[in-house]
Amino acid sequence: MARNPFRGRLTNAPRRAAKRQRAKNSRWMHLGAAEIGTRQKIQRCWAGHTLATTNSLFLAGYALGLRAVFVGPLSAATQQMIDYLLRQAAFFAWHVTQWTSLDVFLFDIPLTEFQYRRAFRPRVHLRIADLRDDMTAKKMTSFSVSQLHQLYYHFGLREFVLAHNETDLLIGTGHWRANGRENCYRLHPEELFLYMLTKCKTGMTNEKVIDMYFGGDYARWTYGYRWIIFYLDLLYRNIVGHVGLLRFLPQFERFRDAIQQYCQKDRWYHDHQGNVTWVPGLEKLPYNIFGWIDGTIDKILVPFSGPDGDYDGAPRRAQYIDAQESVYSGWKKLHGIKLETVLLPNGISTLFGPVSARQNDRGTLNLSGLNRFLTLIQTSLPAHRRCMVFGDSIYRGFLQNITSYYRAIPPDVLTPPELKINASLRSARQPIEKNYGLTSCVQQICDSRRGYQLGKRHPYSLEQLRVCHLLINCYVCFNGDQASGVNTFDCSPPTLDEYLRL
């Protein structure tokens, strides 16, 4: 079994090398780009004091040589100068010793520690049946034990293995043997299924998830996680994407009625000053709405970031400026990827993307073609039965199947009925924002920039985000959602079998 990296007990520093010149398991210090010159500063002080010691010893030796050649007694000033140079040499030599000891203390691994064999945590071979109770299962995966069994069955991993006449998944590494066969890791599908859910739920790094729950070699799980992400994304892409709206086309009118019934309810309105106002509901919505559309940005790590060199004042990597700017949003002042989401009253959402955060909501809509798609799938319906999705003010415009709030251009003002409709729809539109919050809470990897790394050799951030939204929809099928609750639209989500049916 592979050995763990050897690290110093104080600084966790395993090697005498710069951070980005080593793999994750052998980096010499966990420093960011701003602190990359720490060791260089120590060594520069070391070199400076070494030079000062050499110069002081040279001058002291030169003075002693002059005193040996000089005949007669030395003046007091000359003797004081010689004594001063000797003291300076001793002072600088003491500093050299201190800097040497500090460098060894921080960045050297003792021989006895280096020779001690450290193995990875043994592989646990975890299965769903090994989870003690529902609390343990939900802490790891957000699903109970019975829900995990159903989810594992519907994902078809066991059937995939049997179709290839194997007992385990064979995950290729990209390295080939002399006989032409690819080197592969063997992973049990149930174990890999639990690993994927745990990593998405906790948002931990591969190393931390492995050390805490699964054990074994890090590389094995890295290859396996990427494989199952691509497997699920390819299998359910047409369900998670906007094409999945076709499954709910017969229910559009029921969704429309549910939204209208919500807007017709009377409610108390509480303002910021604590005043309470009784607001009667609407008589009828002016248009048919079956869902809500919005866009969201997830922060990512800056791709190909870091200084071009391991020294103070190193420049940025100029060759990657275009790649970094391609995912930078000047409006939000961040690097990220953007999703377009349509939320239905039953709590199920479909999405388009991810795309670059440089696009605003209207630009993402143009890329997704959702307006044309809704027109196409409702062509056979009469005009009075066709439904639209509702979004914020950026979707206001000449769109046939997407609408927004009433808006007045000065000096015109909105009429009281229009203001009332806007307020009612603003309240009804809140579940889509809550759905984004649910995604960040249940799938914590979506709330961590470390989970999105586009600059990797084999990136899978986009596929991972789509799989996380697939898991959120499965979570809603089991547990419901704010939108599908009794207090909102009272539309039950589909069963897991109905949602995942291919």
DSSP string, 426-453: HHHTHHHHHHHHHHHHHSGGGG-GGG--
Q: Which of 226, 195, 190, 229 is nearest to 211 (CA)?
A: 195
Which residues share a beta bridge with 3? 119
Is-contact 160 94, C-beta < 8 A? no
Q: What would the two tokens of residue 297 be?
A: 């940005």
Using DSSP, state whether 335 is helix, strand or coil: strand
pLDDT at 18: 45
Helix axes 134-141 and 145-155, enclosed angle (nearest 10): 50
Given the structure tokens 């539309």, which residue do they identify?
491
Distance between CA atoms of residues 419 and 439, nearest Å: 31
pLDDT at 459: 86
> 495 pLDDT band (50/70/90 cuts)?
very high
Dihedrals φ, ψ of 370, to 5°?
Answer: -65, -40
- Answer with the residue of higher pLDDT: 8 or 429: 429
- Answer with the residue of higher pLDDT: 195 or 22: 195
Which residues share a beta bridge with 186? 170
Most confident of 62-66, 168-172, 195-199: 195-199
pLDDT at residue 29 is higher than 50: no
pLDDT at 16: 46
The pTM (predicted TM-score) of the whole model is 0.76
Q: What is the mean pLDDT of residues 192-219?
A: 89
Mean residue pLDDT of the chain comes to: 83
Over residues 87-127, the pLDDT tens digits come to: 888 888 888 888 777 766 666 655 555 555 555 678 888 99
Q: Which of 13, 4, 6 is nearest to 104 (CA)?
A: 13
Distance between CA atoms of residues 344 and 252, nearest Å: 9
In the chain, what are the helix, strand and coil shares in percent, each to the nearest 5? 50, 15, 35
pLDDT at 331: 87
pLDDT at 65: 76
Q: What is the mean pLDDT of residues 248-267?
A: 90
Given the structure tokens 């109970």, which residue do they identify?
144
pLDDT at 42: 75
pLDDT at 39: 65
Over residues 142-177, the pLDDT tens digits come to: 999 999 999 999 999 999 999 989 889 999 888 888
